[in-house]
């Protein structure tokens, strides 16, 4: 992919898009299949950097993993909650794949398959950015459950060394965490703990839809959790996952960019197939956010359709708490550039510990376009330029900070306004390698 990519505005379009499989579901399903009894078959997995990191790590841990049918299917032979690694230590380098790092941190605490052997030590590392992404809010509860984990550099951050001695499990108190992935990591290994696991939450659950996604997928693999409507506690009894066949639905986070494009390009319409009211992913709710801003919306069981505001109307700014779907904050910020009035995106402080500090990155890059941006505590406030006309100095380019969502969200702006040039567009390899191919088709005559 070239070092820069100029995005050209397009005319009204009608498109039907089916994005590749969900990253969140793929990485969860890969791990659950590895922890299950017997062979599982996963259809339509996402094949991108984040999921390839997980696939490679599972192979390095000793699991039998096979990609088939032109990578549209993966078979995994689970080992009943044990890790079959033979090398001691086993070293895993996980790039900047935060989901894989957190999930495998928990999984590597489980027992090695050969009980009489010396417990295997696992060394988990990543790129430099990974070493600045906090992990202490997962390590601390794992230690309470009996895990043997050591920091190899700075306390609270990767790299880690984990000794696979197994986990007694039990009950722990969980405060509000920076990421829901810490909770999901604990839940996924819960049935493999000798006593199971009970999590009691002392504050709100961050990105709750992702935790609910984890529980629903665990149920598909045969493990039921006990919880209540307010999600004040979750209890999972000791047991095992059952091998299964599972079709992974399209990625709702990546679908958001095409829905956003339909909202900002006057007269446009986009239908996402394979996602709808039956989806396991909370980010399908972004369609409702666009509707609040004035976009048209049709929401079916297995499709979502978004239309630009009708009859010459314009989008309007909104004030919204996005703590439940923080990955949508950058997409919403891109749409807000074309709205009338300010948009305030609240309670997204965890964006500071993603692939980059996304709050600061959005502030810097949107300011280049003449957009007013303020970061107040954990809130992002977008003030569109006068008349929604961007002011871009000649030669200005958008830096992406090795963050796929920076590239994808600013591409949406480029469809509605001229002058957007994106640096390092190849960073989309992280979750959506073909993103710009899909994107280019929005303006093609056959859509």
Kindly list the catalytic residues: 327
Please name the residues in contact with 165: beta carbons below 8 A apart, sequence gap of 6 or more. 109, 111, 119, 146, 147, 148
CA distances to 110, 136, 143, 161 from 149, rounded to whole Å, are 12, 11, 7, 6
Please name the residues in contact with 125: beta carbons below 8 A apart, sequence gap of 6 or more. 91, 92, 93, 94, 131, 152, 158, 159
Judge whether 275 and 250 are in contact, CB under 8 Å: yes
Q: Annotate 388-417 with b (16+ C-beta within 10 A) or e (fewer).
A: bebebeeeebbbbbbbbbbbbbbbbbbbbb
The C-alpha torsion from 87 through 93 and 94 to 100, rounded to 10°, is 20
Of 337, 381, 365, the closest CA to residue 373 belongs to: 381
Question: What is d(CA 216, CA 15) in angstroms, rounded to the nearest whole number?
Answer: 31
Question: What is d(CA 239, CA 29) in angstroms, rounded to the nearest whole number?
Answer: 17
């Amino acid at each position: 992919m070239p070092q820069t990519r100029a995005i050209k505005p397009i005319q009204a379009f009608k498109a039907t898009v089916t994005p590749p499989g969900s990253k969140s579901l793929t990485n969860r399903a890969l791990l659950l299949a590895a922890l299950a009894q017997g062979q599982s078959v996963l259809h339509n997995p996402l094949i991108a950097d984040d999921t390839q990191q997980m696939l490679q790590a599972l192979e390095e841990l000793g699991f039998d993993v096979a990609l088939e049918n032109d990578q549209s299917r993966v078979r995994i032979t689970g080992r009943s909650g044990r890790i079959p690694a033979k090398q001691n230590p086993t070293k895993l380098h996980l790039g900047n794949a935060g989901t894989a790092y957190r999930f495998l941190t928990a999984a590597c605490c489980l027992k090695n398959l050969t009980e009489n052997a010396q417990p295997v030590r696992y060394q988990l590392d990543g790129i430099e950015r990974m070493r600045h992404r906090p992990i202490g809010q997962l390590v601390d509860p794992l230690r309470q459950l009996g895990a043997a984990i050591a920091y190899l550099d700075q306390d609270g951050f990767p790299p880690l060394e984990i000794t696979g001695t197994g986990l007694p499990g039990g009950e722990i108190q969980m405060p509000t965490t920076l990421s829901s992935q810490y909770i999901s990591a604990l839940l996924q290994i819960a049935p493999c703990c000798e006593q199971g696991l009970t999590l009691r939450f002392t504050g709100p659950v961050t990105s709750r839809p992702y935790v609910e996604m984890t529980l629903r997928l665990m149920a598909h693999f045969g493990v039921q959790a006990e919880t209540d409507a307010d999600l004040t506690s979750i209890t999972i009894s000791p047991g095992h996952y059952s091998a299964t066949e599972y079709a992974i639905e399209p990625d709702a986070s990546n679908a958001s960019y095409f829905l956003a494009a339909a909202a900002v390009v006057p007269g446009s319409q986009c239908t996402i197939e394979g996602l709808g009211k039956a989806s396991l992913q909370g980010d399908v709710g972004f369609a409702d956010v666009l509707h609040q801003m004035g976009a048209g919306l049709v929401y079916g069981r297995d499709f979502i359709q978004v239309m630009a505001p009708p009859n010459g109307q314009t989008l309007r700014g909104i004030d919204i708490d996005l703590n439940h779907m923080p990955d949508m904050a950058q997409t919403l910020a891109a749409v807000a550039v074309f709205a009338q009035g300010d948009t305030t995106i609240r309670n997204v402080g965890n964006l500071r510990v993603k692939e980059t500090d996304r709050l600061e990155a959005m502030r810097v890059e949107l300011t280049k376009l003449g957009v007013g941006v303020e970061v107040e505590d954990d809130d992002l406030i977008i003030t569109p330029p006068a008349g929604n006309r961007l002011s871009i100095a000649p030669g200005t380019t958008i830096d992406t900070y090795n963050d796929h969502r920076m590239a994808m969200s600013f591409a949406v702006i480029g469809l509605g306004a001229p002058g957007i040039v994106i640096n390092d567009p190849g960073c989309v390899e992280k979750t959506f390698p073909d993103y710009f191919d899909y994107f280019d088709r929005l303006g093609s005559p056959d859509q």
